[in-house]
Chains A and B, each alone.
Chain A
């Protein structure tokens, strides 16, 4: 007599066995490596935070007005700056940045790219210091503006040739992140500012 269950098992025991064995192997690998992989991205974030704030020795994540930031302290445990992750839509994919700000949030101290899949040779030059360093030292009072050679603006940034969209994406991301936190930073540092209208 034809037994469908037996017929099924006769044909598929190998597939079922392999699937179980391979799944167990996958689970084992994940279990063994999960902490290390999480540690890698954590370490990368911490390196980026200390990279964008000069004299930074250690950092603590804090949430100000719903935005994740890192309070960066120097060797004597005094606050020496802030770092905040910024996000933008690039040419191909999301661009993730880390922006460093001075203690009072008045100017940019550093900018580094955490993640970018921009076109090699063109858009991915946003990672090079020639582009990133343009932000450093500039005041956060005015939003950054993309300029062509010869033009002027309160906070000018030269776009990369052949990568206008990537350059603009970085500028927009930095601007919107700074706009989000500038007020909060000023208020945090100067308690009297909160009571005054």
Chain B
């Protein structure tokens, strides 16, 4: 586990989070926010950034205390840490981005049970040093941002004909309602995930 293709551990983990271990398309983790808040690009990006901040803070704390932590108390400590940072992020959004906070509704508090965060605490941060844990958090957050924003782009473009709230398609574009509704999230996720896996398979085949 010390290195991948000769890269130092931290850099390898950072790179893997974006692509080969992308939380959305490869690990298929955190599906609740992935499907629920990606009907527009701004909501998708806000959710990914909020999750990323919590993941980073959680990985830092977990890595710092991992040596002192009693193994049978670790889930308790992960939950405590994550819940605290999620609440802080939720309050910050309510204070400085009230409209977005209303739009995301219950999905910000639900970051507490996002399995990406607890899986990184358990799989990486509790076994690695601080630098590696930070790189891992940044890589996974980047991958999550990539996943959510690609879904947000496709769904907002096809569903409402706009990007980041600005109309980009001709005004008479009717907007495909299904892409705004939850069913469109499943369709988009399935198609993008399938396309990505097809590309990866082909690359494997040519090597």
| A residues whose Cβ falls under 8 Å from a Cβ of B | 11-12, 14-15, 18-19, 22-23, 25-26, 29-30, 33, 36-37, 40-41, 44, 115, 117, 119-122
Known: A14-B65, A18-B80, A18-B81. A29 touches B181 (CB 8 A): no
Contact yes or no, B84 A121, CB < 8 A: no
CB distance from B182 to the nearest CB of A (A): 9
Q: Choose one: B76, B98, B181; the contact of A121 (CB below 8 Å).
A: B181
Q: Contacts of B91 on A, CB cut-off 8 Å?
A: 29-30, 33, 37
A40 touches B98 (CB 8 A): yes
**Contacting A15 at CB < 8 Å: which of B39, B77, B105?**
B77
A40 and B95 contacting across the interface, CB-CB below 8 Å: yes
Decide if B44 is an interface residue (CB 8 Å cutoff).
no
Stretch in contact with the other chain, from B11-19, B67-75, B145-153 = B67-75
| B81 contact set on A, CB distance < 8 A | 18, 22
Question: What is the bound-complex CA distance between A22 and B61, given in angstroms?
Answer: 11
How many CB-defined contacts (below 8 Å) exist between A and B? 61
| Smallest Cβ-Cβ distance to A22: which chain B residue | B84
CA distance A25 to B89 in the complex (A): 12
Are B95 and A120 neighbours in the complex by a CB distance under 8 Å?
no
Could you list which residues of chain B lie within 8 angstroms of chain A, going by C-beta atoms? 39, 61, 65, 68-70, 73, 76-77, 80-81, 84, 87-88, 91-92, 94-96, 98, 102, 105, 159, 177, 180-181
Known: A18-B65, A18-B77. A26 touches B181 (CB 8 A): no
Residue of B nearest to A44 (CB): B98
Q: Compute how far the CA of A33 lies from the CA of B96 in the bound complex, rounded to whole angstroms.
A: 9
Residues of chain B within 8 A (CB-CB) of A30 are 91
- Using known A-B contacts A14-B77, A40-B94, determine if residue A120 contacts B180 with beta carbons closer than 8 Å: yes
For the complex, give the distance between the alpha carbons of A15 and B181 in Å: 42
CB of A117 within 8 A of CB of B105, answer yes
Docked complex Cα distance between A12 and B68 (Å): 10
Per CB-CB distance, the 3 closest pairs between chain A and chain B, nearest first, are A121-B180, A22-B84, A33-B95
A12 to B74, CA, bound (A): 11
With A and B bound together, what is the CA distance between A175 and B102 in angstroms?
26
- Closest B residue by C-beta to A121: B180
| Interface pair B177/A14, CB less than 8 Å apart | no
Give the distance in Å from the alpha carbon of A41 to the alpha carbon of B95 in the complex: 10
8 further A-B pairs in the complex, CB-CB below 8 A; given A25-B84, A121-B177: A14-B70, A14-B77, A18-B65, A33-B95, A37-B98, A115-B102, A121-B180, A122-B177
What is the minimal beta-carbon distance from A39 to any residue of chain B, in angstroms? 9
State in angstroms the CA–CA spacing of A119 and B39 once bound together: 12
The answer to whether A33 and B92 have CB atoms under 8 Å apart is yes
Closest to A115 in B: B102
A19 contact from B70, B80, B95, Cβ within 8 A: B80
How long is the Cα–Cα vector from A119 to B178 in the complex, in angstroms?
A: 12
| Shortest CB distance A34–B (Å) | 9
| Nearest-CB residue, chain B, relative to A117 | B105
> Which residue of chain A has its CB nearest to the CB of B69?
A14
